[in-house]
Amino acid sequence: MSVVQPDLKYTKNHEWVKIEGNLARIGITDHAQAELTEIVFVELPSTGKDVSKGDVLGNVESVKTVSEVFSPVSGTVNEKNDKLVDSPELLNKDPYGEGWIAAVELRNQDDLSDLMSADDYRKLLGE
Amino acid sequence: MRYHQADYDVPLLFEACDEQKIDDRFDPTIGGAIPKGLLRSDLNIPDLPERDVVKHFINLSQMNFGVDNGLYPLGSCTMKYNPKICDEVVSWPSVASIHPHQDPSTVQGALRLMHELEGMLCEIGGVDAVTLQPAAGAQGEYTGIHIVRAYHEARGEKRNEVILPDTAHGTNPASAAMVGYDVLEIPSKNGCVDIEALKASISSDTAAFMLTNPNTLGIFEKDVKEIAGTLHDAGALLYYDGANLNAIMGKTSPGHMNFDIVHFNLHKTFATPHGGGGPGAGPVGVKRYLEEFLPVPRIIEKDGKYHLDYDQPKSIGKVKAYFGNFGVLVRAYAYMMMQGGPGLEAASENAVLNSNYLKDKLKDDFELPYGGLRKHEFVLSGKPLKSKGVRTLDFAKRLLDYGFHAPTIYFPIIVDEAIMIEPTETESKETLDRFVDVCKQILKEDPEILKTAPHNTSRRRMDEAKAARDMIFSWRGYKKKTENAK
């Protein structure tokens, strides 16, 4: 059974969002990394890039497939996790911690209300 | 039947030879033909007696698995048996010893063979003209999409988009993007093209729609004529990826389905060898109104003589040196002449029969998304394996222990834990039955055996993550890496 962190928000595409004031830190869930299997390459967005909700934020490539990571919110990319370039396995080892992908400065706080709670996400997984 | 792959300790040729030793039987000047000033002494060429070289490659080949060893049900790839007589024909001096720079008057037989092969492909593809130049299916796509662009430009139109279904082979978006098009992917519905989604995505910017039929799930796209009509009404072209043509030979054709451009994978449909990236052939066929855009030279027959025609001002130009990979074309020609029309039709019938036989025998042990008949291949879902704590990957690896190549896995991505099986027409019922028995046997095995498979192969499970993260492409690269590590 995959780990769902109670204090985070989730999307149906298996991204998680951690709200840090005006910043949304984004990653992929434990379920997502388990489905992808061993991750070998991560493509990060550039900082300063403007993204709209639903835009492609980056790409995650595993031995099994390539998957797009969508931005759950609109705003400006403020930080990206450069550690993933040399150590993509962090996404497998610590998806909710060291495996974060990017942080987006929110343009619209209302975006957050569309996200799922941990309970709803657990229901989506049906585990 | 027990299976165990051979396992030798085979050093690399570079490791096997003593670098200091120079074989004095070999004259590097080739009898003085090469001037001393042009000779290099720093070439790193392994220097070994013939006997050792033969041992090296024979032992390696025994540690490998190919279509000659057994069932190779790699869906989408069509790994059918290649008749040996086709290889024999290619070794004849009249084929092997001619040169592309010879005057056409001295190679009339070769030109006739190519011209006749074009004609046979026209008939099977339902098209009016064919080029044999492209060296592989993907280069065929690239050529075809160049023709799309030339067609629209000749009409004074600028169109920027190529549309694809989400089950398309990965080369389709790559080919379109390489020609400079934006790629638009549309979702499937019940395993087929969602016509409403297609209609919604078509605009005056649409250059072409690329499709395989039967599609990647092995399902025949019944609405193909409506799809073609919709595109043609919008001024766009319909491109046929010939990857699955082996399922429909003699029954229908891309041209009959109103496709405008088609590529043929000779290695899939006409039993030429799949090179390890080696020589292939991906001829492209078009309807009459696109013929003027085909690559040059065109092979023209006039009064029983064959000529090379370069005078085609609207041609997209050459896409490959000379006339394509001639040896592969000869193999395909030999195969087609040997089969004849009825034989090719029977090949498609048996490919479809074998696929449906396996599908019906296995569908209750796995899941079969989108029921019904299939053409030459089918896609199961390995989702039920999860209750045992194993995945499609583990199941596929375990198959190797029984002397089968694994099916294609995790493609297409619209099927969860996909297992894509294509038995081809060249396998017997006995082989298919044994494959079914082995699949059922594996499902009953201890999950730990699956997770640690393969056990009976020359190499155990590969570290695919390391292979992708830590790529070394050459001996030189390997040496550099190991020296740096010291």
The tokens for B247 are: 């399922």
CATH code of the domain containing B103: 3.40.640.10
A9-110, CATH topology level: OB fold (Dihydrolipoamide Acetyltransferase, E2P) (2.40.50)
pLDDT at B21 over 60: no
The tokens for B171 are: 């080369």
Do you find a cis peptide bond into B295, omega within 30 degrees of 0? no
Q: Are residues B226 and B271 in the same domain?
A: yes
Report percent pLDDT > 70 for chain B: 97
Q: Do A65 and B413 touch (CB under 8 A)?
A: yes
Q: What is the tens place of the pLDDT at every residue in B338-382?
A: 999 999 999 999 999 999 999 999 999 999 999 889 999 999 999
Which A-chain residues 35-74 have CB contacts (< 8 A) with chain B?
37-41, 61, 63-65
Question: What would the mean pLDDT of B143-171 be, rounded to a whole number?
Answer: 96
pLDDT at position B28 is: 74
Could you give the number of structural domains in chain B? 2
Q: Are residues B120 and B177 in the same domain?
A: yes
Residues of B with Cβ-Cβ distance to A37 under 8 angstroms: 391, 393
> How would you write B306-353 as a 3-class SS string?
EEEECCCCCCCCCCCCECECHHHHHHHHHHHHHHHHHHHHHHHHHHHH
Question: What would the mean pLDDT of B151-156 be, rounded to a whole number?
Answer: 98
Residues of B with Cβ-Cβ distance to A64 under 8 angstroms: 393, 410
Q: Are residues B102 and B165 in the same domain?
A: yes
pLDDT at B277 over 70: no
Q: Are residues B132 and B19 in the same domain?
A: no
Residues 6+ apart with CB under 8 A from B47: B17, B18, B19, B21, B22, B23
Residue B473 lies in a domain: no
- Evaluate whether B75 touches B421 at the Cβ level (below 8 Å): yes
Domain ranges of chain A: 9-110
Last residue of a domain, one of B338, B353, B384: B338
Last residue of a domain, one of B308, B338, B368: B338
Worst-scoring range by mean pLDDT, A58-62, B13-17, B132-136, B470-474? B13-17
DSSP state letter for A116:
B
Choose the closest CB to B410 out of A65, A88, A89.
A65
Q: Are residues B195 and B122 in the same domain?
A: yes
Q: Are residues B181 and B213 in the same domain?
A: yes
Q: Are residues B173 and B317 in the same domain?
A: yes
pLDDT at B278 over 60: yes
Q: Are residues B163 and B259 in the same domain?
A: yes
pLDDT at position A95 is: 97
Last residue of a domain, one of B338, B368, B397: B338
Q: What is the tens place of the pLDDT at every residue in B454-465?
A: 999 999 999 988
Q: Does A88 contact chain B (CB < 8 Å)?
A: yes
Residue B45 lies in a domain: yes
Question: What would the mean pLDDT of B151-162 be, rounded to a whole number?
Answer: 98
pLDDT at position B1 is: 65
pLDDT at position B18 is: 67
Classify strands A102-106 and A23-28 as parallel, antiparallel or unpaired: antiparallel
Q: Mean pLDDT in chain A?
A: 94
Complex ipTM:
0.80
Q: Do A38 and B393 touch (CB under 8 A)?
A: no
pLDDT at B413 over 80: yes
Confidence of residue B45 (pLDDT cuts 50, 70, 90): confident
Residues 6+ apart with CB under 8 A from A123: none
CA-based nearest residue to A98, from A51, A44, A35, A28: A28
Q: What is the tens place of the pLDDT at every residue in A2-42?
A: 899 999 999 999 999 999 999 999 999 999 999 999 999 99
Residue B263 lies in a domain: yes
pLDDT at position B20 is: 52
Residue B196 lies in a domain: yes
Instruction: Report which of residues B267 and B478 the model is more confident about.
Output: B267
Q: Are residues B105 and B248 in the same domain?
A: yes
Classify strands B284-286 and A56-62 as parallel, antiparallel or unpaired: unpaired
**Which of B469, B470, B471 should be substituted to probe chain A, the one whose Cβ sees the most A Cβ atoms within 10 Å?**
B469
Which whole-number Å values give the CA distances from B229 to B145, B290, B305, B380, in the listed order? Answer: 19, 18, 40, 32
pLDDT at B385 over 70: yes
Q: Are residues B32 and B141 in the same domain?
A: no
Q: d(Cα A104, Cα A75) in Å, to the nearest integer?
A: 6
pLDDT at position A34 is: 93
Q: Are residues B236 and B332 in the same domain?
A: yes
pLDDT at B24 over 80: no
Residue B24 lies in a domain: yes
Order of strands, edge to edge, in the sheet holding A9-10?
A9-10, A15-20, A23-28, A102-106, A75-80, A50-51
Nearest CA in chain A to B466: A40
pLDDT at position B38 is: 87
Residues of A with Cβ-Cβ distance to B468 under 8 angstroms: 40-41, 61, 63
Q: What is the tens place of the pLDDT at every residue in B325-336?
A: 999 999 999 999
Q: Do A65 and B469 touch (CB under 8 A)?
A: no
Q: Are residues B40 and B183 in the same domain?
A: no
Residue B362 lies in a domain: no
pLDDT at A67 over 60: yes
CA B400 to chain centroid, in Å, comes to 22
Confidence of residue A84 (pLDDT cuts 50, 70, 90): very high
Nearest CA in chain B to A88: B469
- Residue B225 belongs to domain spanning: 85-338
Confidence of residue B23 (pLDDT cuts 50, 70, 90): low
Residue B297 lies in a domain: yes
Worst-scoring range by mean pLDDT, A56-65, B55-64, B301-310, B477-486? B477-486
> Per DSSP, what are the bridge partners of residue B263?
B284
Q: Mean pLDDT in chain B?
A: 94
Distance from CA of B3 to the nearest CA of A (A): 27
Classify strands B161-165 and B192-193 as parallel, antiparallel or unpaired: unpaired
Residues of A with Cβ-Cβ distance to B469 under 8 angstroms: 40-41, 88-89
Q: Do B465 and A63 touch (CB under 8 A)?
A: yes
pTM attached to this predicted model: 0.90
Q: What is the tens place of the pLDDT at every residue in B204-228?
A: 999 999 999 999 999 999 999 999 9
The DSSP string of B258-289 is: T-SEEE--HHHHS-----SS-S----EEE-GG
Residue B163 lies in a domain: yes
Question: What would the mean pLDDT of A79-83 be, rounded to a whole number?
Answer: 97
